[in-house]
Chains A and B, each alone.
Chain A
Amino acid sequence: MGKYILRRVLSLIPVLLGISLLVFLFLQLIPGDPAVVLLGERATPEQIAAVREQLGLNRPLPLQYLSFLQNLLQLNLGTSIISGIPISAELRARYPATIELAIAAMVLALLMGIPAGILAATQKNRWFDNLVTTGALLGVSLPVYWLGLILIYGFAVNLQWLPAGGRSSDVALIQPITGLYLLDSLLRFNLSAFWDGLSHLVLPALTLSTIPLAIVARMTRSAMLESLTQDYIRTARAKGVSEIWVVCQHAFKNALLPIVTISGLQFGTLLGGAILTETIFAWPGIGSWIYEGILARDYPVVQGGIIFVAIAFVLINLLVDLSYALLDPRVQYR
């Protein structure tokens, strides 16, 4: 097991190198000079030359990449061209917001998606199954931006039940411990801050959860359908085991592997894929930061953001791989 983990971790190195090269090249290959974008309509040739010099854009590409890589190894992601703030400081300030949102969305997706998938599988081709299948189709096809706005107008503007955006009210400030507001407010026994954080989290989490919810529900349904037709299910039923036990213990446990895989992938996607949700809800996370970075063509911000997301994705995948052994004793690591 230890050896396997080591091998898996070592195999991450070329993956991460590849990511760094892609991220570096993508932004270099886009036409246009960041110095010009930085200076905008006002740029004069002398100013452009000065800014290029300052940003190190005059050096040959391979050298730029090497120094980029060197800095990366020292966890120095550079500073934002626009604001001059170190990328690592901005990442530290923003990732808790993204992680909190991603966890909330994933919890919603799992809490609703797995039972829905199980029920749909046991009710195959009946009305509930059709409902889940149709709902899942809608879930993956509704544009997030549109859904977010509809929820804001419904629950915040018209019904006025929930806040329209942001992460907390202006009055409910709590001293951060982990940076996850809900957890921090509980740790500090501050219930009003907890409710405040929760009320802000509901709509963005709901919006963000639609796609993973749909995918988890569909995956659960198909995995369950497969495992419900296995011989051991028939045997269990023949032995007189209650239907609930058959479904939950025998069938579901065996259907878990693909569900975990897809959930892990979805969670990785949530960490980086929240750009639209974070923007529409003014959620101060990595996604809205990358969005602003792209708009301003702030290369280091986009690079830092994408690298963070990619590394998170790769690590979650690793965890998913490692969890197989826990779920299925037949899986052995050599």
Chain B
Amino acid sequence: MPKAHFFQRFFGFNLRGLRLILVFCLALILANCASTPTKAPDAASTGNTGSTAANTIVYGSTGQPVNLEPGNISDGNSLIAQDQIYNRLLEFKPGTSELKPALATEWSVSPDGKTWTFKLREGVKFHDGTPFDAAAVKFNVERWWDRKHPQGFRNAGKTYEIWQQIFGGFKGEPNSLLEEVVAVNPTTVQFRLKQPFAAFPNGIGAGFFGIASPEAVKQAGAAYGTPGAQAVGTGPFLFKEWVTGDRIVLDKNPNYWVKDLPKSNQAIIRFITDPAARLAQLRASRIDFTVDLSPDQKKEVESDANLKMLVRPSFNVGYLALNPSYKPLADVKVRQAIAMAINRPAIVQAFWGDLGKHDAHFTPPALAWSQAADLQPYPYDPEAAKRLLTEAGYANGFDLELWYMPVSRPYFPNPKPIAEAFAADLSTVGIRVKLQTKDWAAYLSDRRKKPGYQAFMLGWTADYGDPDSFYYAHFGPGATDDIGNWSNPQVIQLLNQARAVNDQAERARLYSTVDKILHQEVVRLPIVHSQPLLAQRTSLAGWIPSPLGSDPFEEIAKQ
């Protein structure tokens, strides 16, 4: 086989077609290309500049974490970085939203559903050598929950918003679910709630709530979690260094409480905002695994024999909200007609390919236990849709302002063309759609201003692994001001009941009823559960992406 020419190797494919253009443009190249393409050699064989040791894993994150302070973040980059340094009371079995013991070995709830007791793991030490115990848990929780906590440093701008999102409010506020947190003894901690909340273990197990060393927090003060401060937890990796804008370096925790883990000696998190740059760095073996590539990069990942494509199980929903306070949409038949008029399977196939799942449920497939199994999505049937519209008195259709998001989100990567597809489908049944958008911040806030948008696209990625995180935030009390305060007393009753009951089978029954009612009502029409595209080098093993977006690296190593 003839030796590949420089330019052929540079471009990685046969250049015959491009040669003329290059000669013309640069007036420099007198290139002649050999005939067969060569494959890029593997990094290891060429002594490539990837330059990391075999027992170091390098993760390409989509940007710099906001900070390394538990409870004070909600972004995915911080979530993943914190997952390596801290443990939570409860964590999740790899690749699922199913709880498993972590810093707590057992957990139970009182018969009235209001007191949760966690038995803590003994003999665990923070990276700084201080012991992990109930007092440490209480310290962490009170920092998040109590606005007046001296080590909460709220005057330095810390907000701990995520606590409020999940647990209703802060200490002393009427909506706060938590009444008190008590260190019963060094290995037992109790959370006393104002009202039952069955999803509490899921909430406190959410990736935001790692347990930090109280000593380290006190020492660093308000600077805790910033690049210059030492982040100290009990997790598989020790914080070594955070080079602003560039990377975080983590070393193996030799005293990790899980035997034989972590499998790698070092983990490096590199911040690479641009998806094209992330994929390029992965292909050049500068990083070993990365997340959130754009769907159109799938082909490139598949074409490289050194890469393996993965998808993160969906834990989101992209939906089309139909506001019943707009007169035509007040009739449920019209809303159902819209569900039948939009060819959702085709749209999902066209815009997401295998990275999108379309079904009848507002919750993603990872929560199948809580869904009504026999529920079928509305079929694409324009004729039936037209009949429904005629029955509702809109034989000639009506005008509809449909708002699409101005930004790309995981659940709607390119909202405008998707909205155009909706509009095209709706026009075939006589609904005259006017597409609208506005600046993202205004888009989000104006939808709550009366009378709100007639129809709009939006989505949700859950905070914790429970249907409650999807339903309560969209159909619970006060959560429907963007759909004209639509309210279904039965739904609210069922949601509250499901919060109060601790029996999983009973909760499944309650949620499946909610699922059916919402399917019937069509106020937020689920379009897609998207699965983010991930990729790794084939030399890496042990990565099982979590639907909840927090990936522990402890099992990951190079082969």
Footprint of B on A, CB under 8 Å?
A: 30-34, 36-37, 39-45, 47-48, 50-51, 54, 79, 82-85, 89-90, 93-94, 97, 130-131, 134-135, 138, 149, 152-167, 169-173, 196, 199, 279-282, 284-285, 288-289, 291-292, 295, 297
Give Cα distance in the complex from A109 to B161, angstroms: 48
Q: When the two chains form the complex, which single residue of B28, B74, B276, B448 contacts A149, counting CB atoms closer than 8 Å?
A: B276
**Seed contacts A94-B244, A149-B276, A160-B46; 14 additional CB < 8 Å A-B pairs:** A31-B441, A37-B441, A41-B460, A83-B226, A84-B67, A134-B27, A156-B281, A157-B280, A161-B49, A166-B246, A166-B281, A199-B49, A282-B281, A284-B246
What B residues does A31 contact at CB under 8 A? Answer: 438-439, 441-442
Q: Is the CB of A284 within 8 A of B245?
A: yes
Residue B149 lies at the interface, judged by CB distance under 8 Å to chain A: no
Q: Is the CB of A30 within 8 A of B10?
A: no
Q: Is the CB of A169 within 8 A of B157?
A: no
What B residues does A39 contact at CB under 8 A? Answer: 161
What B residues does A48 contact at CB under 8 A? Answer: 445
List the 6 shortest-distance A-B pairs measured between CB atoms, nearest first.
Answer: A32-B441, A284-B245, A164-B284, A284-B246, A169-B51, A93-B244
Closest to B66 in A: A83
What B residues does A32 contact at CB under 8 A? Answer: 439-442, 445
Give Cα distance in the complex from A112 to B445, angstroms: 53
What A residues does B72 contact at CB under 8 A? Answer: 84
Give Cα distance in the complex from A292 to B227, angstroms: 17
Give Cα distance in the complex from A94 to B74, angstroms: 24
Give Cα distance in the complex from A79 to B63, angstroms: 18
Q: Is the CB of A282 within 8 A of B439?
A: no
Mark interface residues in B264-285 (1 if CB within 8 Å of A CB, else 0).
0010101111101100110110
Residue B424 lies at the interface, judged by CB distance under 8 Å to chain A: no
What A residues does B417 contact at CB under 8 A? Answer: none
Which stretch in B52-60, B330-338, B536-544 binds the other chain? B52-60
Q: Chain B's nearest CB lies how many Å from the CB of A79?
A: 6
Q: When the two chains form the complex, which single residue of B156, B286, B442, B459 contacts A41, counting CB atoms closer than 8 Å?
A: B459
Closest to A155 in B: B10
Give Cα distance in the complex from A166 to B287, angstroms: 11
Give Cα distance in the complex from A173 to B440, angstroms: 40
Give Cα distance in the complex from A171 to B266, angstroms: 11
Q: Is the CB of A166 within 8 A of B67?
A: no
Give the residues from 231 to 248 in chain B that come closer than 8 angstroms, CB to CB, to chain A: 241, 243-247
Give Cα distance in the complex from A101 to B515, angstroms: 56
Closest to B13 in A: A158
Q: Is the CB of B270 within 8 A of A158?
A: no
What A residues does B280 contact at CB under 8 A? Answer: 149, 152-153, 156-157, 164-165
Given A93-B245, A160-B40: A279 touches B277 (CB 8 Å cut-off): yes
Q: When the two chains form the complex, which single residue of B27, B51, B448 contacts A45, counting CB atoms closer than 8 Å?
A: B448
Q: Is the CB of B12 within 8 A of A297?
A: no
Give the residues from 39 to 98 in chain B that come closer than 8 angstroms, CB to CB, to chain A: 40-41, 43, 46, 48-53, 56, 58, 63-64, 66-67, 72, 74
What A residues does B249 contact at CB under 8 A? Answer: 170
Q: Chain B's nearest CB lies how many Å from the CB of A173?
A: 8
Given A85-B227, A131-B27, A164-B284: A158 touches B273 (CB 8 Å cut-off): no
Residue B436 lies at the interface, judged by CB distance under 8 Å to chain A: no
A-B pairs with beta carbons under 8 Å apart, 6 shown: A41-B458, A83-B66, A134-B27, A169-B52, A171-B51, A291-B273
Q: Is the CB of B439 within 8 A of A30?
A: yes
Q: Is the CB of A54 within 8 A of B157?
A: yes
Residue B21 lies at the interface, judged by CB distance under 8 Å to chain A: no
Given A54-B157, A166-B270: A93 touches B67 (CB 8 Å cut-off): no
Give Cα distance in the complex from A54 to B11, angstroms: 52
What A residues does B227 contact at CB under 8 A? Answer: 85, 93
What B residues does A82 contact at CB under 8 A? Answer: 66
What A residues does B30 contact at CB under 8 A? Answer: none
What B residues does A43 contact at CB under 8 A? Answer: 444-445
What B residues does A160 contact at CB under 8 A? Answer: 40-41, 43, 46, 48-49, 284
Give Cα distance in the complex from A36 to B438, angstroms: 14
Mark interface residues in B387-420 (1 if CB within 8 Å of A CB, else 0).
0000000000000000000000000000000000
Give Cα distance in the complex from A134 to B241, angstroms: 47
Q: Is the interface of A mostly helix, strand, loop or mixed?
A: helix
Residue B450 lies at the interface, judged by CB distance under 8 Å to chain A: no
Give the residues from 417 to 473 in chain B that come closer than 8 angstroms, CB to CB, to chain A: 438-442, 444-445, 448, 458-460, 473
What B residues does A280 contact at CB under 8 A? Answer: 274, 276-277
Q: Is the CB of B246 within 8 A of A152?
A: no
Give Cα distance in the complex from A295 to B243, angstroms: 21
Q: When the two chains form the complex, which single residue of B156, B266, B274, B441 contacts A34, counting CB atoms closer than 8 Å?
A: B441
Q: Is the CB of A157 within 8 A of B284?
A: yes
Q: Is the CB of A84 within 8 A of B158?
A: yes
Q: When the two chains form the complex, which single residue of A130, A135, A162, A165 contacts B272, counting CB atoms closer than 8 Å?
A: A165
Give Cα distance in the complex from A31 to B51, angstroms: 45
Closest to A90 in B: B244
Closest to B286 in A: A164
Q: Is the CB of A41 within 8 A of B444?
A: yes
Residue B125 lies at the interface, judged by CB distance under 8 Å to chain A: no
What A residues does B14 contact at CB under 8 A? Answer: none
Give Cα distance in the complex from A318 to B64, angstroms: 35
Give Cα distance in the complex from A32 to B407, angstroms: 13
Q: Is the CB of A163 within 8 A of B272?
A: no
What A residues does B10 contact at CB under 8 A? Answer: 154-155, 158-159
Give Cα distance in the complex from A82 to B445, angstroms: 19
Residue B159 lies at the interface, judged by CB distance under 8 Å to chain A: yes
Q: Chain B's nearest CB lies how many Å from the CB of A120?
A: 14
What B residues does A130 contact at CB under 8 A? Answer: 27
Given A32-B440, A82-B66: A157 touches B283 (CB 8 Å cut-off): yes
What B residues does A85 contact at CB under 8 A? Answer: 67, 226-227
Give Cα distance in the complex from A50 to B154, angstroms: 12
Q: Chain A's nearest CB lies how many Å from the CB of B296?
A: 14
Q: Chain B's nearest CB lies how many Å from the CB of A242?
A: 30
Closest to A94 in B: B245
Closest to B268 in A: A170
Given A36-B445, A163-B49, A285-B245: A158 touches B12 (CB 8 Å cut-off): yes
Q: Chain B's nearest CB lies how many Å from the CB of A94?
A: 5
Give Cα distance in the complex from A205 to B286, angstroms: 19
What B residues does A279 contact at CB under 8 A? Answer: 273-274, 277
Residue B294 lies at the interface, judged by CB distance under 8 Å to chain A: no
Give Cα distance in the complex from A38 to B208, angstroms: 17
Q: Is the CB of B286 within 8 A of A165?
A: yes
Give Cα distance in the complex from A270 to B441, angstroms: 31
Closest to A289 in B: B245
Q: Chain B's nearest CB lies how many Å from the CB of A47?
A: 7
Residue B194 lies at the interface, judged by CB distance under 8 Å to chain A: no
Q: When the two chains form the complex, which single residue of B74, B286, B473 contacts A166, counting CB atoms closer than 8 Å?
A: B286
Give Cα distance in the complex from A165 to B285, angstroms: 11
Q: Chain B's nearest CB lies how many Å from the CB of A58?
A: 15
Q: Is the CB of B58 within 8 A of A170?
A: yes
Closest to A134 in B: B27
What A residues does B281 contact at CB under 8 A? Answer: 156, 164-166, 282
Q: Chain B's nearest CB lies how many Å from the CB of A80?
A: 9
Give Cα distance in the complex from A279 to B249, angstroms: 21
What A residues does B226 contact at CB under 8 A? Answer: 83-85, 89
What B residues does A97 contact at CB under 8 A? Answer: 245
Q: Chain A's nearest CB lies how many Å from the CB of B537?
A: 13
Residue B9 lies at the interface, judged by CB distance under 8 Å to chain A: yes
Q: Is the CB of A152 within 8 A of B157?
A: no
Q: When the two chains form the complex, which single residue of A33, A170, A288 contacts B273, counting CB atoms closer than 8 Å?
A: A288
Q: Is the CB of B440 within 8 A of A37?
A: yes
Residue B25 lies at the interface, judged by CB distance under 8 Å to chain A: yes
Q: Is the CB of A170 within 8 A of B161?
A: no
Q: Is the CB of B49 within 8 A of A169?
A: yes
What A residues does B241 contact at CB under 8 A? Answer: 173
Closest to A130 in B: B27
Residue B297 lies at the interface, judged by CB distance under 8 Å to chain A: no
